Amino acid sequence: MRPEYDFSGGVRGKYAADFRKGTNVVVLEPEIAKFFSDSAAVNDALRALVEIAKRSNKPKRRQKAS
């Protein structure tokens, strides 16, 4: 390591517990990423899409024969 690197104020394992819970990194293509300001916006959009998908996958009611 270079002498100018100073880790004296660092905390060992600061994010270890979060990492153990699981991480999921998704890289968006630039033309998609420009529509989202942050990860919360991406999550909101995906939640909305999941709800739409749930509604469209519900079985259709069969019509009674006349």
Higher-confidence residue of 2 and 57: namely: 2
Residue 60 pLDDT greater than 70, yes or no: no
Q: What is the DSSP letter of 28?
A: P
* pLDDT tens figures, 7-39: 899 999 998 888 888 878 889 999 999 999 999
Q: In sequence order, which ranges of the chain are alpha helices (DSSP H)?
A: 16-21, 30-33, 39-56
Query: Whole-prediction pTM value?
Result: 0.54
What residue segments make up the domains of the chain, in order of their start?
Answer: 21-56
Confidence tier at 62 by pLDDT (50, 70, 90):
confident
Burial classification of residue 36, based on how many CB atoms lie within 10 Å of its CB (0-12 exposed, 13-18 middle, 19 or more buried) = middle
